Structure 1
Amino acid sequence: MNVFAEALAWLFSPERLEGSYALPILLGQHLFYTVISVAVAAVIAVPLGWLIGHTGRGREFAVAVSGAARAVPSFGLLILLVLLLGVLRIPEAAVITFVLLAIPSLLAGAYTGLEAIDRRVIDAARSMGMTEWQVFWKVEVPLGLPLLVGGLRAALLQVIATVTIAAYVNLGGLGWPIIQGIPLRRFDQVLGAAILVALLALLVDLLLAAAQRAAVPAGVRVQQIGTKRPRPGRNTSHAPA
């Protein structure tokens, strides 16, 4: 408990708001690399995932790529890219690392969202005279959006946690107090920064969980609620003898 209290005291110290390593600056750096990396990953993975989900082709390739990307150690990849690109391109190396980390979740969310749609819904849309483009944008994308948001949610949480290693290559972020505090045995600083990372991840998770629920189309939401209600006429209680 003493370490936890010291971590809170470190967090709320006025010194944390001063200098080039102030917590607001480190938080801004952390969010910058997170948002940029996930945005680039989304530009790559979402169209590819939609193409796979719409055509039904290439799923095995997507699964293989996602599995391989998840197996690559992020820290080792970051160091390798820094060595390959040079010390003058450390930000680019970090962004590439985080992009590769975010792609699998976004890719899976994009194509599974379309694959999960009942084929009868797609056939009904086509029988109404919709073109393939209309079927895609007006039927498949809205119905697949919740799973896509779920993939975005997973990608953001993974990147937020992994951006802490950016401090190893002097890119700042909330990992900097952790990296600096470990050799100095400043456990209050290490724990305080870890608490900030955890709170940031929790806040993002809560916001995207709400967004994922809101992404469910109104008609589907009403249908889901209707299936949970007991059928009329069914007696769920036992009358006394």
Structure 2
Amino acid sequence: MSITDAPSADELRQCMTDHLVRTGCIQSKPWRAAFLSVPRELFVPDFTVRAQGGLHRYSQGDPAWLAAAYQDVSLLTQFDQDGTATSSSTQPSLMAEMLEALDVRDGDTVLEIGAGTGYNAALLSHRLGPDHVVTVDVDPDLVAAAKTRLRSAGYEPTLVAGDGMAGYSKRAPYDRLLATCGVGRIPTPWRDQLRPGGVIVANIGCGIVRLVVQSDRSCRRPVSPRPGHLHERPADS
């Protein structure tokens, strides 16, 4: 296939979204619409993919860059001096599962821990409106870049440079909290900043959990877990 015959961004976005629907990662029309609308490539002008035991770097202008941006894999976007990845755009299938598990309703306000590239905040903003999305990241440079890319995509949620483990009390209480960064347990500020009945979806240990905040600020897993691949655990596991 020549470069001129290569699929467009819209076609690649459609293929990725269709794949997420077929595999059950996307289960609702609003999230399907979000994935169809938000241009992932805008948030990852440069990234690295782990493939065949090695790393392959893609940059805007590379003929393979656009198609690579729509693979169902995590795109590594920042590394420290030791070569360890410190930021990425999460694998779309996992991102979709976590967003579905949030079980958001129109009018809900979401606190996202880990702004990263800003792509996930764009999906949330498309679904709920930018005024209902707050995203926090410890890296000020990531926040600045995410803000620029979100604005280019037409979204202006609240972005905060700070310690995500402390949440963001200025906009509390929230209805939902989504954390893609790994934690050992749910920090107390997260529970305190959610309304009773609020939902936390987070990466704890080696699995993704969905927890509901009780009136006493404890967290419990739902009695009837949502279908999908989420690993349900007690809050402090």
Q: TM-score, normalised by structure 2?
A: 0.23
Q: Which has the larger radius of gyration?
A: 1
If the length of structure 1 is used for normalisation, what is the TM-score?
Answer: 0.23
User: Of Structure 1 and Structure 2, which has the larger fraction of its residues in strand?
Assistant: 2
Higher relative contact order (CA 8 A, sep 6+): 1
